Amino acid sequence: MAILILGLDIISENPKRFAVVSWFNGMLERKGEFTLYRLIRFIHAKRPDIIAVDSVTELGDDLRKFLRALPPGTKLVQVTGRPGEQRSLQSLAREQGIRTGDRFDPYEEAKLAALLASKGVGYEVLAFEDEVVVKVTRGRSPGKGGWSQDRYRKRVHNLVRDKVREIEERLRRAGIPFDLETEEKDYGLSKGEFRVYASREELAGLIKPMKGGDVEVRILPVERSELGFAPLTGEEAIKERRSIIVGIDPGITVGIAAIDLNGRIVALHSERNMPVGEVFRFVSEVGHPIIVATDVSPAPGFVEKIARSFKAQLFAPRESLRVEEKNELLRDLGITVDDDHQRDALAAAYKAYLRLKPKLEHIDARLREAGLSKKSEEVKALVIQGYNLGEAMQKVSLKGRRRKEMEEPGEEQRGFDAEPYLRRIRELERRIEFLERENEELREIIREQRKTIGKLERKIADYDDEVRRKVLRERELEAKVKRIELLEKQLKEAKAVIERLSRDLVQVKRMNVVEIRGSAVPLKVLRVLSWRELQRIEREIGLRRGDVLFVANPAGAGKAIAEELVEKGIKAIITEKPLPEVVASVFREAHVPFFTSEELDVKRVDEFAVVERETLETAIERLLAKWEEEDREREAEKLARLLEEYRIERIKELERKAREELEEEKRKKRGGKDFKF
């Protein structure tokens, strides 16, 4: 398969400039000299499969920026090996049979880097985890505003919710594990954040970034804390590792616990913001997991990703473990942990072990009988992976026999005949040619299938539009039903008001007839006895001398407003409640009659009231006569009190004069005696 490789080497440090050589289908071409900015633009235009360098340190502080700028599918390869194990370009080139030139020529170095990468030499620089964060948010701030702004904000939050649901459905259909956190707002969502446990390449074509509209979708790869290096071809030899059961508690702080197949704890760890790649590396250093366990049901996407990465079985309890149950499991182990995350992870691993314990003990008993106790761990791992016990024992026995045979080669292996291998190579070449043709045919089928999928997706989109329109119609119908219910309620209330007003109208007509006949006196109605209400009456119907007023609530009235009514010459005042003392005293002094509605049997409808003329006149005459009698009695009492006061003063005056005359006589007598002396 033809690939494009760009070889780079640095020409100058300040300003930073690079020599670029391309390798495509066996052809080398010198591309020229590039600054870092122009180089990134060139890479985005050409989209090479590999960018080969002799050392990533040549990029200096711009390394992380350069890695973030690489398009999906482009690898950065350090051809000289991983850090600490690097070799020179010239020595690697000689091993691969590549002719070398001037080692101080940047273009020669760039050419060697490209040629070595084309032969599968080097290590890919890994800057990102196999993990992606997808953020769905509002495309713009709704700001402040009235009703229309509120409707727009609700619409945007509904669009965000629909986009989150669409991405969630696509990930589920593709079988990609993920965790989702949302933030609700206005019966919709203001934000949705997916943590997807897959690489950017796996999401290509599945989730597309969106920018500039009401909804924004951003795809952010998760960077590694330290750069990783993976060989371009082949796999490194993996040492035989012990089989373990791993419990994982995902979240902001990740808890990891590992126990061996005998129930002994071999690792316990927790770390904040630990990406899936770091978890994978930590577990790999401890051993090879055959079971990955969680304490909740269903299992989180994070745990599913770890289990799938190790091709291990996933264990989830039938029901999520309670805190009391976790503490009981830790008491059985006789261990204390640093935090709740380690506790949850260890409880999950130990729960999985307890589920397998009877089977593991049975395996140990059978192996002791067969004399294979030393192979206990390998047999247990195979049984857990799905082999029956007999198959597992046989597989382990054959493996040991082969290893022994390889360590002690026989006489027949000392000779070497290359012919079978050459025949096998030719056979494999024909097989490769056949597979390439078949591959091309399958690619054509895939293209056709993709076209069909596109058509079906458009049909689904049309169906979704139809369903959405149906939902909108149902919502509109529901709104109309609610509107009808509201109008019916308002109609019922209006009918009740009309019925009450009809009764009042009949009463008013009767009162008008009484008034026309002259047998009733109309009253001018005031709701309260205040200056504002008095101004309203004067403005609307006027207030004349001789009017009779009806006041519903006189409480709070003062002396001044009472004096004003007296000055206006009202004939009488009728109230539903007694008048305040200060107001009553003013009307009493001015001989303005006042009564309560109960005393006169007032008939009232809203702002209209009447009283029988004869009843009113009689009440006024009686009250005025009563007041006149009281005034006469008061005057008589006053006159008698004045006469009594005058009599007392007169007596006091006569007594004073008598004392003075007596004193005068005594003085005269004393004066005559003095003269004789």
Going from N- to C-terminal start, the domains of the chain cover 4-121, 130-230, 243-404, 518-626
Q: Is 575 exposed, middle or buried (0-12, 13-18, 19+ CB in 10 A)?
A: buried
The architecture of the domain spanning 4-121 is: 2-Layer Sandwich (3.30)
Bridge partners, 523 (sequence order): 609
- Give the fold, CATH level 3, of 243-404: Nucleotidyltransferase; domain 5 (3.30.420)
Handedness of CA 469, 475, 478, 480 (dihedral sign): negative
Q: What spatial distance separates the first Cα and last Cα of the chain, rounded to whole Å?
A: 174
> Helix crossing, 389-407 with 376-384: angle to 10°?
130
Q: Are 335 and 265 in contact (CB under 8 A)?
A: yes
Place of tokens 């002259």: 518
Which CATH number does the domain 130-230 belong to among 3.30.70, 2.60.40, 3.60.70, 1.10.1060?
3.30.70
The answer to whether 4-121 and 243-404 have equal CATH topology is yes
* Strands 313-315 and 288-293, bridge-based pairing: parallel
Helices (H), strands (E): how many in the chain?
18, 20
Residue type at 250?
P
What pLDDT is attached to residue 510? 59
> Helix crossing, 559-568 with 581-589: angle to 10°?
30
Q: Residue 411 carries which DSSP code?
A: G
Residue type at 468?
R
Three-state SS letters, 172-232: HHHCCCEEEEEEEECCEEEEEEEEECCCHHHHCCCCCCECCCCEEEEEEEEEEEEEEEEEC
Between CA 226 and CA 198 the distance in angstroms is 19
What pLDDT is attached to residue 238? 34
What pLDDT is attached to residue 411? 43
Q: Are 326 and 340 in contact (CB under 8 A)?
A: no
Residues of the chain falling short of pLDDT 50: 1, 146, 234-240, 402-403, 405-416, 675-677
What pLDDT is attached to residue 235? 34
What pLDDT is attached to residue 68? 85
Token reading at 501 = 């007003």
What backbone torsions phi and psi does residue 594 show, to the nearest 5 degrees? -140, 140
What is the pTM assigned to this prediction?
Answer: 0.39
* pLDDT tens for each residue of 28-46: 888 889 998 899 999 988 8
What pLDDT is attached to residue 399? 55
What element of type H or E holds 531? helix 531-540
Between CA 289 and CA 309 the distance in angstroms is 10
What pLDDT is attached to residue 467? 82
What pLDDT is attached to residue 608? 74
Query: Phi-psi bin for 187: left (phi > 0), alpha (psi -120 to 50), beta?
Result: left
CATH code, 518-626: 3.50.30
* pLDDT tens for each residue of 95-151: 888 888 887 888 999 999 999 998 888 888 888 777 788 999 987 776 555 456 677
What pLDDT is attached to residue 430? 66
Token reading at 212 = 């500039």
* Strands 243-249 and 253-260, bridge-based pairing: antiparallel
Three-state SS letters, 88-137: CHHHHHHHCCCCCCCCCCHHHHHHHHHHHHHCCCCEEEEEEEEEEEEEEE
What pLDDT is attached to residue 237? 32
* pLDDT tens for each residue of 269-285: 998 878 777 787 788 77
Chain center to CA of 44? 36
Chain center to CA of 618? 79
Bridge partners, 609 (sequence order): 523, 604
